[in-house]
Amino acid sequence: MAKSKLIIVEGAQGAGKTTTTDFLRNVVKHTNLYRLSGISDSTPTGLEKNKKMYYDLLEYMKKMENLDINLLFDRTFFTEENYCRLGKKEYSFTEVYNDLLEQFSKLDFDIYYITVYLEDENLYEERLKRDGKVEPAYAKFSRDNSVLQQREYLKMADEIKEKYPNIKVYKINNAKDLSETQDELRSILNI
């Protein structure tokens, strides 16, 4: 029996995570989609909240092993590490991130880590026009913030690929025609 899939989609604000995860939710059978927004507390108290949330999330993933259900996440603890690396929080998440990643890599799933990005970084200007949406200061929508996030996500993908060969790591340029991106995702996931 094939293992269930555990798919994480990460990327900068405006890179197309929602479009990507909505598509995957509809084409990968027996899939639960989870959208996480994280905890906006950027103080050391926020670190403790995030630690609890992400360790609890990892425990939940472990409980879902071998249930013939695919799990699809739009953001997880990788986002927290990205924001901390960029200095958007008052604390370092790296020690927790490394431990979570180590445990995550051992889950009994076919694990996919997908980073969506825009090869033409100028596209963020248009994609980030989100009228009326209120965001926390550390996540302010701007082209410059998204470009910095994207560069860090791409670096993180390389690190994961190098250290964890059992995690299938993909970088998808989400600036091309939607049907091309969807075909690439189908090919990656064998659907």
Q: pLDDT by residue (tens digit) across 70-89?
A: 999 999 999 999 999 999 99
CA atoms of 162 and 186, how far apart (whole Å): 24
Q: What is the pLDDT of residue 58?
A: 97
CATH number at residue 108: 3.40.50.300
Compute φ and ψ for 11, nearest 5 degrees. 165, 170
Q: What is the pLDDT of residue 137?
A: 47
**CB hemisphere CA count around 81 (13 angstroms):** 23
Full residue range of the structural domain in which residue 151 is found: 5-189
pLDDT in tens, 91-144: 999 999 999 999 999 999 999 999 999 998 988 887 777 555 545 444 556 888
Q: Is the pLDDT of residue 171 over 60?
A: yes
CA atoms of 139 and 170, how far apart (whole Å): 24
pLDDT in tens, 50-61: 999 999 999 999
Q: What is the pTM of this model?
A: 0.91
CA atoms of 70 and 25, how far apart (whole Å): 9
Q: Is the pLDDT of residue 156 over 90?
A: yes
Q: What is the pLDDT of residue 136?
A: 46
CA angle (90, 34, 186) in 5-degree steps: 115
Number of domains in the chain: 1
Element (H, E) at 171: strand 167-173
Q: What is the pLDDT of residue 131?
A: 53
Q: What is the pLDDT of residue 37?
A: 82
Q: What is the pLDDT of residue 66?
A: 87
Q: Is the pLDDT of residue 12 over 70?
A: yes
For 28, the 3-state DSSP assignment is coil
Q: What is the total residue count of the chain?
A: 191
Structure tokens at 110: 């076919």
CA atoms of 21 and 10, how far apart (whole Å): 10
Confidence of residue 186 (pLDDT cuts 50, 70, 90): very high
CA atoms of 126 and 141, how far apart (whole Å): 11
pLDDT in tens, 19-38: 999 999 999 999 999 999 87
